[in-house]
Amino acid sequence: MRILIFTSKEEDYLQDSIIHGFKCLYGKEVIDFPAKVILYDDYHNLHSLRGNGFTLYGKLDKRLKASENINIEEAIVKNTFDLIIFSSIHRQFDFFYAHFRLLKEIKSKILILDGEDSSRFFPFMRKYAKFFFYPKPHSHFAYFKRELILKHSQLGFWNFFQNLFNSFFLGDNVKPISFSIPKEKIITILPFKEKLFTKHVVDIEISKSINSSTEKYAFNTEADYYDDIQQAKFGITTKRSGWDCLRHYEIAANGAVICFRDLNKKPPECAPHGLIDGINCINYNSYKQLKDVIGSISDAAYLRLQENSLKWVRDQTTEKRAVDLIHQAFNKILI
């Protein structure tokens, strides 16, 4: 299966996890254009990347790079690809609009990804206002959005009208999507626990309450970061700029239970999906509440949470996300 994925040079967890998944499935038949060099194992400046490049970056075999000599426009005209993915429409709209008519002729092969932290669809953001009267990608193609809010009340004038627009004018093309994690990063055996929390605690209230923690990056190597999570019973995570965060998946992949601040406030369509308080994670709204919940959990109950958490993350691999992407778009598996 020949797949073209338009890329951008910046770290983009949605884009990059999708590239990783398709590359693992189809190898060099997947053309990431231009090549996403930070994903391959011959990239040696990982510490310059967000989060020190842990989990996703520098992992793909450099031999999986596709040739850069391909004439993309000619290949699209000749219809040589089985699937074409705009992995970040906010960064790839120039090519999209320049070839819009041609893309519409093969619309069943086109997928649009929107991994932005905002719930607003392209181009309904201030810096893209000049495209307001252009064709809207979500009106013509399968459009996958991470921070998807369809019918959810939020404070704020513009959010109110955005949600109203989403509720009435978004059709069947719009679908949810979330981050994912390489399957090789998921432990196979639950580790022995030596402490309550991880060292890196992103919730400021809790970080200030635990002497050994820090809200800043605490490790220089991925191995040390993972080892710390594996030693801890619980990993703290919160909504950052958006609700979805790679840290959710890293915590579960290393055998700790996710403690997610204000998870109950997350819109249901918005990533991450499948986290259920008391089943595979813990929802909390304050440090006091979290302490009370943790203090009431028996060893047997903790083990169930831990096992369900690991089960959840095993369904969040990059390869499964790539397969799900195809299935959702075309209602069939193409592998």
For the segment 243-281, what is each residue's pLDDT rounded down to a tens digit?
Answer: 999 999 999 999 999 999 999 999 999 999 999 999 999
% pLDDT > 70, the chain:
92
pLDDT score of 156: 52
Which of 133-142, 151-160, 307-316 shows the highest mean pLDDT? Answer: 307-316
What type of residue sits at position 139? S
Residue 167 pLDDT more than 60?
A: no
Residue 333 pLDDT more than 50? Answer: no
Provide the 10 A C-beta neighbour count for residue 229. Answer: 23
| Residue 302 neighbours by CB under 8 Å, 6+ apart | 233, 257
Please report which helix (H) or strand (E) contains residue 112, including its range: strand 110-114
Give the pLDDT mean for 272-298.
97
Given a contact cutoff of 8 angstroms between Cβ atoms, the answer to whether 139 and 132 are in contact is no
Helices (H) and strands (E) in the chain, counts: 12, 10
* Distance from C-alpha of 319 to C-alpha of 308, rounded to nearest angstrom: 20
Q: Does 68 score more than 80 pLDDT?
A: no
| Most confidently modeled range among 98-102, 146-150, 178-182 | 178-182
Two tokens, residue 109: 């092969």
Q: Evaluate if residue 140 carries a pLDDT over 60.
A: yes
Alpha carbon 199 to chain centroid, angstroms: 23
pTM to 2 decimal places: 0.91
In the numeric block, the tokens 């000619």 are attached to 74
Average pLDDT value for residue range 92-111: 93
pLDDT band at 166 (very low <50, low <70, confident <90, very high): low
Cα 25 from Cα 319, distance rounded (Å): 7
Report pLDDT digits (tens) over 23-64. Answer: 999 999 999 999 999 999 999 999 999 999 999 999 999 999
B/e letters for 77-103, b = 16+ CB within 10 Å, e = fewer, are: eeeebebbbbbbbbbbbeebeeeeeeb
Query: Is pLDDT above 80 for 161?
Result: no
